[in-house]
Structure 1
Amino acid sequence: MAPLEAAAVYVGINILLLIYLSSRVVFMRRSAQVSVGHGGNVDLEIRTRVHGNAAEYIPSMLVALITAAFMGIPVLWIHILGTTFTLGRVIHAFGLSRSVLQARVLGMVLTWLAMIVVAAMLIFHGLTGFAPLHGLSGQSI
C-alpha cells in the first residue's frame, strides 16, 4: 500500500464519522422540531457540540495526512498517525456524548498527539527534504 492510499483510508473513515455525527444532529433536530440552534434541548446541544468538535479537528488532520503522503512520509507513519487520530476522534465523540471525562481527555490526547507529530514531520520534511523515520517503513522515498 502506498502512503497516499493509506491516507485515503483515514480520509474515508473520518468523512463517515463526520456524516454519522451530523446525522445524529439532524435526527435530533427533527424529533425536537428545532431548525436552528438547540432550542433549550440539552441533548441537541451536546450532539451539535460533538459534531462541531469533530468538524474543527478532522479537516486539518486530513490535509496533513494527504500532504505527508505526497511528501513521502512512509506508509507506516501514515497508518500510525491516521489510526491514532481516528481512534482519538471516536473516543472523544463517545466521551463528549456520554459525559465521560476520561474518554474525552484520552480522545483529545490522541488527537493532539497525532496532530503534533504530523505537524513536526511536515515542518521537518518541508525544511530538509528528508522524510523523518524513513527507515521504519522499509520503503524508499
Structure 2
Amino acid sequence: MAALINLWLAIRCGKARIEAKAMHGDGGHPLLLKRMRAQANFVEYTPFALLLVLGLELSGHAGWPLALTASLFLIGRVSHGLGMDADIAGPLRQAGMALTFLPLLGLIAAALLAAFGLI
C-alpha cells in the first residue's frame, strides 16, 4: 500500500509539473511545490513506520492492532497528501499529520516494549 500511495503522490506531482511546464524544480508554481512537498513528506516518514511494522512482525507481534495502526498511518499519509493542495493547513492536512504522528508514536512504543520483553 505504501508503494501505491507513493506512486499516486508521484503521479500528482507529474501532472502538476506538466501543467506548470516546469521540468526541473517547482518553477515557482505553488501547487507543484505543495505536491512535491507532500511526496517528500511521505518519503520522510514512511520508511520509519515500515521498519517499525517489519520489526514488530518479525518479533512475533503481528495481529490486528498492528494492522490497524499501519492502516491508520497510511490513511493519514493520503489525507496529508490531499490536504497539502490547500493554501492553509486545513482539516485534511491536520488529520493527516495526527494520523501520522499518533500511529508512529504507537509503533515506537510497541517496538520499545517488545525490545525490552514487556509485551
Query: Percent of pairs identical after alignment?
Result: 25
Q: Structure 2 vs 1, CA of residues 98 and 83 (structure 1 numbering), >3 Å: closer, same or farther?
A: same
Q: CA deviation at 1:27?
A: 2.5
Q: For residues 68 and 61 of structure 2, what CA distance do their matches in structure 1 show?
A: 11
| Gap runs ≥5 in structure 1 | 1-12, 133-141
2:90 maps to what in 1?
101
How high is the TM-score relative to the length of structure 1? 0.76
Moved more, 22-31 or 81-90: 22-31
Q: For residues 67 and 43 of structure 1, what CA distance do their matches in structure 2 show?
A: 37
* Paired AA for residue 75 in structure 1: G
Matched, 1:35 2:5: no
SS at match of 2:25: coil
Matched, 1:90 2:78: yes
* Paired AA for residue 107 in structure 2: V
| Gap runs ≥5 in structure 2 | none
1:66-85 correspondence runs (5 A): 66-85=54-73
Q: Deviations over 1:110-138 (max 9, x none)?
A: 1111111111111111112x4x3xxxxxx
Matched, 1:125 2:117: no
Q: For residues 35 and 62 of structure 2, what CA distance do their matches in structure 1 show?
A: 36
SS at match of 2:22: coil
Contact in 1 for aligned 2:35/2:81 (Cα 8 Å) = no
Which of structure 1's runs of 4+ aligned residues deviate more than 3 A? none
**Higher relative CO (CA 8 A, sep ≥ 6), structure 1 or 2?**
1
